[in-house]
Chains A and B, each alone.
Chain A
């Protein structure tokens, strides 16, 4: 059924009536009145369109076109209006000269295409039309209100940088540029969204990212036909190798330091205007289990945390199903004392272990979901109600067993320990089918369910790289940075996955550092 859906989506031709398409190819007229008429016609009666008529040098009629509040009014007033309206003698029939001598704004573009000009106006720039001139100039006057750089909200860390991306692509771009002061850092602008015309910045380091990867990414972005994008989640689905998989194959991050590290590994970043989350491409499953803190703390603790998170994945995925399988099918696998205490705890519980587990896990998901949406002050109330009513009172009333509460709580906490939010959601979701399988067939059911999941994960890829790389296919050399993190000085090579042949990571064996310094 889902495959049919994809087929249908693919077979659909882009609709003809794309709004704005009528501006395509329209040239600027030389008459100012006609241009104004055309623009007014295009924008309709929108209230934020400002068309300011002025007389340049006392003789030429001109008009400034901009959108209210999108521009920095100070720039327009002081550096555009003032010099233009000064009663000074200068030629007004030469646009080039005008720009060179009169206008005091940095970025300027001359164009005769109406759609290009309007595109700039829609992005907070100001266009200058002069009567009897078939060209117009756009001045960089962007200056709208935006959120300032803040601490990361979803990817908290202890050590390391504390600033996060914001909703403005340019600010995000700057944050990366400030970290990578190299001429080889490239930002390539693309536009997605038939209506929204959202800026997408393809970010990579030339010579580190594979050219094929960049080419393929651009090809896919160009193919995207959608009314609008305003979150990286759109691209996670639109650019995916495996549109039907529950697993995310791209990671959104709001940490510039994480993005920088990814770029240095030869990955490609995708900055999307309007969202503080930038996409890292490609992303393996293991990347969801890594945090910048692993690299900022010493490698022993980094490795320990990695292993801990692997355990967290295993617990989140299998603990409730293991509990169901063992208590309803394989009681002989429990130590005697534990079997007796579980039996005692389940005494008088009206539901079977399976129903009990499903109910409690659902209740937990409800508490979690309720807590996510609520303001922080009310969120506390949710956790109190969740913990007390569902946990304690449930056990006291004999509706759930205390062991079940422990299982659910452990599973919940383990799922919070997975750093990649989208991957954690997937794993949390997958535990329900596993619970059904183990409720029906015990451990054989659980194992076959896990097998299906693993087979599926192995078949996945992220922009051509295997999803479970380097574990499957096995590349032992790359295991230095998966479950264990070797010290920085031992990471002699770049990850093979996305990097070019050049390996630029400095390899300084410990102990030789002094000698090197002496030589230089």
Chain B
């Protein structure tokens, strides 16, 4: 009887302990937090200090109109990243809270020095979220970047977050990389990553005071493991996205001929997939990139009868070449950077381990000289609401 009661008590206690040992219990009221919306990391080579800049929203009591911008900037320095983050607390009476930070901007100097410490911090800390937060590479000084107020969302960080997504969905000239994506790349045998580049853009208008500076996400930076080694231009970035199958949408402009007249065509790519495959041709290592693309006809500058299957075939042929050209651009640029962003090394490691053993010591040089065979298979599936815009006889 006594033993029964003891067993009962023990199991009840164990169950209760089980619940309270799962996570750290800290009570913090929601209004005592500073929600960090964007964080920028920079490094000062002269002093060896890390600079951390965060953007937090101003919370104003209900009914009161916020004065000026609705956000604040905190900046702090430290010998390590974590110390710099803690130093933010010197200025803020509220606890800095990383749980909602979705934008991590990496400064140029920091990227060149290597961001390993940041990757470590983001995984080690309990508040940061790796699967939903985005990495961005700063094209301009952090101080300039985080100071702009683009007036579109309540917080610049929110518009940055949306921008990364929208850029991929409209023109795919810049990738979207979450912290987790980067970490996945980081752990590969041959680790290379491509991060989107963020800068500012000011429209060139007459009246300067009515012009708002906005963010622009375009192009990308290439990382070898944790260090920045070079940049890709917007079209090269798109070529890279074609090859790795991450392209979501794009507008590609080319020309076809119709009755000896040149007609400019805009293709709207709606979906794309690809396959990168290393093959051993005899003694030689080659890489086949196969791209499949589906497009709509977006715009014709000239006359072309799109009801004619022959013309469609011609359109598709031209598109094949255009895509091939972009992929080729990306390939030659990355070969020049000796950066295997297409995961060829990883695929060799998986499917031809014996070959990988031979080449991995000198992989960068081997990669730079690999022959890439690019095959593109594209289709134009929709031609829009009209077949041909025809004017009168005086056209």
Contacts and interface: CB of A to CB of B under 8 A. Distances in A.
Contacts of B37: 336
Contacts of B60: 344, 347
Nearest to B102: A336
Main secondary structure of the interface of B (DSSP, over half): loop
Given A328-B27, A328-B28, A332-B100, A444 B59 contact: no
Given A331-B100, A343-B30, 16 more contacts: A328-B29, A329-B25, A331-B97, A332-B100, A332-B129, A343-B35, A344-B61, A346-B30, A352-B27, A353-B29, A398-B62, A402-B62, A439-B27, A442-B25, A444-B19, A451-B15
Contact of B31 (A346, A395, A396): A346
B29 A347 contact: no
A349 B31 contact: yes
Interface string B2-37: 000000000000011001101101111111010101
A322 to B, nearest CB: 13
A242 B127 CA distance: 45
Interface string B56-93: 01011111000000000000000000000000000000
A451 B19 CA distance: 11
A448 interface: yes
B19 A340 contact: no
A396 B64 CA distance: 11
Contacts of A398: 61-62
A441 B30 contact: no
A352 B35 CA distance: 18
Contacts of A349: 31
A346 B25 CA distance: 21
Nearest to A351: B29
20 contacts: A327-B30, A328-B29, A328-B30, A331-B30, A331-B97, A332-B129, A336-B158, A344-B60, A344-B61, A346-B29, A346-B30, A349-B31, A352-B27, A352-B29, A353-B29, A439-B27, A442-B23, A444-B25, A448-B16, A448-B19
B27 A347 contact: no
A342 B62 CA distance: 10
B99 interface: yes
A339 interface: yes
A75 interface: no
Most B CB contacts (10 A, CB to CB) among A336, A337, A348 go to: A336
Interface string A309-328: 00000000000000000011
A345 interface: yes
Most B CB contacts (10 A, CB to CB) among A331, A398, A439, A445 go to: A331
Contacts of B28: 328-329, 331
B277 to A, nearest CB: 40
Contacts of A339: 30, 35, 100
Interface of A: 327-329, 331-332, 336-337, 339-340, 342-349, 352-353, 395-396, 398, 401-402, 439, 441-442, 444-445, 447-448, 451
A344 B62 CA distance: 7
Interface string B308-321: 00000000000000
A454 B27 CA distance: 26
A336 B35 contact: yes
Contacts of A340: 35, 57, 59
Nearest to A448: B19
B59 A343 contact: yes
A331 B129 CA distance: 12
Interface in B127-162: 127, 129, 158
B122 to A, nearest CB: 14
Given A347-B62, A395-B62, A402-B62, A342 B30 contact: yes
B20 A396 contact: no
Contacts of A444: 19-20, 22-23, 25
Nearest to B100: A336
Nearest to B161: A336
B31 to A, nearest CB: 4
B23 to A, nearest CB: 7
Contact of A441 (B25, B100, B129): B25
A447 to B, nearest CB: 7
A347 B94 CA distance: 12
A347 B59 CA distance: 7
A346 B94 CA distance: 14
A271 B91 CA distance: 72
Contacts of B61: 344, 347-348, 398
A332 B30 CA distance: 10
Nearest to B127: A332
A345 B19 CA distance: 31
Given A332-B99, A344-B59, A347-B59, A327 B29 contact: yes
Contacts of B27: 328-329, 352, 439, 442
Nearest to A403: B30
Contacts of B29: 327-328, 346, 352-353
Interface string B100-124: 1010000000000000000000000
B30 to A, nearest CB: 4
Contacts of B25: 329, 441-442, 444
B126 to A, nearest CB: 9
